[in-house]
A and B are shown apart, each in its own frame.
Chain A
Amino acid sequence: MISVLLTAIFFSFFASAVLLNYKIGRLLNLSFASIFTLGAYLYFFNPTAAALLALISGCAVGAVVSTATRKLSIAEASIVSLGFAIAIEEFLRILYRTSYFLVMESSYVEIIGEAVSVHEITNGAVLALLFLIFTAIHLSRRELKFVEDDWELAEMYGVDTSRIRLLTISISSGFICLSGAILAPTQSVFPSMGWSSTVTAVIIASIAASAGNAGVKKYLLTLPVAIAYTAILRWLF
């Protein structure tokens, strides 16, 4: 159960990042697949500095994606983000050609008779905290709600939508990359490992988006949807 909950927290965060990028960034950010993988490879490269490296690298990639997709439609921007995903994946594949699947060690603790990875607990705690901070920011800053509801109108009323978009995409990419670095020891690391998480996040985000256009409800809904999804998958497989 603990493991299911921790996995659900991860998927909930990932889905919220997807939703945020869609509503404010105005793109389906498929580069998350490879940004997550990049974080995992950074842990393999340097476990000590991985967290900081991942945060900086993720933010940098996010900023590049944001700039490249600035004046594009949702469909065009999403396809460009897919291009970045493939570019990063290929870069990693070329760099780490010596071995395809990388496995790193993790340590486990027993909680209520269940062996849980320390990295999963760390990841869950970090993401849960980030989620709370994000919820607080979203509730206190009306510009986010305004931009989510009507981008064009927000621009006309003087909201700096470009800055909000840049910050949203960069910061969410940074945290996705950080998540990849923290979780690296819990899975086998290979260039296309991020796609399964991304697809899961997109599906959860699509279901949660039915909660409404603006406001924090849809982000909160990602958690119960993620719990249900993870529990069903665990039961099936």
Chain B
Amino acid sequence: MVVLKGDFAVILAILLLPLFIRDSFVVSTATLAVIYSILSLSWFFMEKEAGWNSLAHSIPFGIAAYAIAINPALIIPAFSLSILLFTAISFFGRDKFVFTSFIIAIVLWYLSHYITLSLNGKVTGGEEGFSFQSIGLWESYLLSSSVLLIFFTSFLLLRRTGLGLKIEAVRDDEIAARSIGIHAFKVRIVSFTISVFAATVAGICYLLYFGHVSPEIFSIEVALLPFVASLIAGNRWISPIIGCYIIVIVSRAFSGILPETHLLIYAAVLILSPKLRRWWNASTH
């Protein structure tokens, strides 16, 4: 409980800091970090709580942004499609889920280059993507920060509910869970729905901040971000948030000297991932 209060205090401090510094560069960096943190939290919930390791959270993230940019009425079908996709992939089993999802994320990345819209004889989309009205820097930051706090709190509270226990039970042993009356498939759908919802909201925040979405939202970089961010900073609920901040800050800091430096962090973290995982697991226990 003390640890959780400490984590909450750290997040509040991180989120409040830009409000005192009031520098546009700092706020824009923080906004991006917060949006990616929401995405990473959604992934962390699915991996840690529900036990499904995906490398495809770029899918609900990107589909949501595209849906709003094309036509806001498409958000519900987009949300449903993401849940359906994850459910379909889950039939391959937990072991194959991670790489099947990754392959589908890459396929979607390629296919997104062909998403075009013809309006009044003018073709939009394709590689250039779609534009949308941005809500502005400070508004984006305040919105994203509020959303992050809400999701962080909600995920932690969920663990102390009946639904949270069921999700963890199905994660640990599906057969044992079914033997005590838990509808494992229903719980799986609910887990996916919660995770996809958070990723969808992150996608919407992304679009409202940038005012533009392109196929790069489905890139390998975005697909791997939550996994890498969590591995950098540990096994706790605050870890994906800290990890995202590290990645975004390093990327922005070195963008003048070496663009996309953060991808070198990705490579290093992925290569060291087995050791990092064991180290974080050992330090937790």
Residues of A within 8 A of B (CB): 28, 68, 72, 74-76, 78-80, 82-84, 86-87, 89-90, 93-94, 192, 195-196, 199, 202-203
Are B260 and A87 closer than 8 Å at their CB atoms?
no
Are B271 and A80 closer than 8 Å at their CB atoms?
yes
- Whether A84 contacts B274 in the complex (CB less than 8 A), given A75-B98, A93-B260, A195-B220, comes out as no
- Total interface residues on B, CB under 8 Å, equals 25
Are A83 and B110 closer than 8 Å at their CB atoms?
no
Known: A82-B270, A93-B260, A196-B110. 10 other contacts (CB 8 A): A76-B273, A83-B272, A84-B271, A86-B263, A86-B266, A86-B270, A87-B267, A87-B268, A90-B260, A199-B107
Interface of B is mostly: helix
A83 surroundings in chain B (CB, below 8 A): 266-273
Assess whether B264 is interfacial by the CB under 8 Å rule.
Answer: yes
Interface of A is mostly: helix
Are A68 and B110 closer than 8 Å at their CB atoms?
no
Nearest chain B CB to A68 CB, angstrom units? 7
Task: List which B93-149 residues lie within 8 A (CB) of chain A.
Answer: 95, 98-99, 102-103, 106-107, 110
Closest B residue to A34 by beta carbon equals: B267
Q: Which 9 A-B pairs have the closest CB atoms?
A: A83-B270, A87-B267, A83-B271, A86-B267, A76-B274, A90-B263, A199-B106, A83-B267, A79-B273
How distant is the Cα of A84 from the Cα of B264 in the complex, in angstroms?
10
Nearest chain A CB to B228 CB, angstrom units? 9
Task: List which B5-50 residues lie within 8 A (CB) of chain A.
Answer: none
Are B273 and A80 closer than 8 Å at their CB atoms?
yes
How distant is the Cα of A28 from the Cα of B266 in the complex, in angstroms?
18
A87 surroundings in chain B (CB, below 8 A): 264, 267-268, 271
Q: Most B CB atoms within 10 A — which of A80, A82, A192?
A: A82
Assess whether B180 is interfacial by the CB under 8 Å rule.
Answer: no
Nearest chain B CB to A186 CB, angstrom units? 19
How distant is the Cα of A199 from the Cα of B269 in the complex, in angstroms?
22
- Whether A75 contacts B95 in the complex (CB less than 8 A), given A68-B271, A80-B273, A195-B220, comes out as yes
How distant is the Cα of A142 from the Cα of B103 in the complex, in angstroms?
32
Closest B residue to A73 by beta carbon equals: B274
Q: Which of A84, A196, A203 contacts B267 (CB 8 A)?
A: A84
A202 surroundings in chain B (CB, below 8 A): 103
Q: Which of A28, A80, A94 contacts B99 (CB 8 A)?
A: A28
Q: Which of B102, B103, B269, B272 contacts A203 (CB 8 A)?
A: B103
Nearest chain B CB to A157 CB, angstrom units? 26
How distant is the Cα of A82 from the Cα of B260 in the complex, in angstroms?
17
A93 surroundings in chain B (CB, below 8 A): 260, 263
A-B contact pairs, 29 of them (CB 8 A): A68-B271, A76-B274, A78-B99, A79-B273, A79-B274, A80-B273, A82-B224, A82-B270, A83-B266, A83-B267, A83-B268, A83-B269, A83-B272, A84-B267, A86-B263, A86-B266, A86-B270, A87-B267, A87-B268, A90-B263, A90-B267, A93-B263, A192-B220, A195-B106, A196-B110, A199-B103, A199-B106, A199-B110, A202-B103
Closest B residue to A195 by beta carbon equals: B106
Assess whether B1 is interfacial by the CB under 8 Å rule.
Answer: no
How many A-B contacts if CB must be within 8 Å? 60
How distant is the Cα of A90 from the Cα of B106 in the complex, in angstroms?
18
B266 surroundings in chain A (CB, below 8 A): 83, 86
B271 surroundings in chain A (CB, below 8 A): 68, 80, 83-84, 87
Closest A residue to B221 by beta carbon equals: A86
A90 surroundings in chain B (CB, below 8 A): 260, 263-264, 267
Closest B residue to A68 by beta carbon equals: B271
A196 surroundings in chain B (CB, below 8 A): 110
Assess whether B157 is interfacial by the CB under 8 Å rule.
Answer: no
Are B270 and A79 closer than 8 Å at their CB atoms?
yes
Assess whether B258 is interfacial by the CB under 8 Å rule.
Answer: yes
Closest B residue to A65 by beta carbon equals: B271
How distant is the Cα of A173 from the Cα of B263 in the complex, in angstroms?
23
Q: Which of A78, A94, A199 contacts B258 (CB 8 A)?
A: A94
Task: List which B237-285 residues lie within 8 A (CB) of chain A.
Answer: 258, 260, 263-264, 266-274, 277
How distant is the Cα of A84 from the Cα of B268 in the complex, in angstroms?
8
How distant is the Cα of A136 from the Cα of B82 in the complex, in angstroms?
45
How distant is the Cα of A195 from the Cα of B221 in the complex, in angstroms?
13
Task: List which B199-251 residues lie within 8 A (CB) of chain A.
Answer: 220, 224
Nearest chain A CB to B91 CB, angstrom units? 14
A75 surroundings in chain B (CB, below 8 A): 53, 95, 98-99
- Whether A72 contacts B274 in the complex (CB less than 8 A), given A28-B99, A199-B103, comes out as yes
Are A86 and B107 closer than 8 Å at their CB atoms?
no
B110 surroundings in chain A (CB, below 8 A): 196, 199
B277 surroundings in chain A (CB, below 8 A): 76
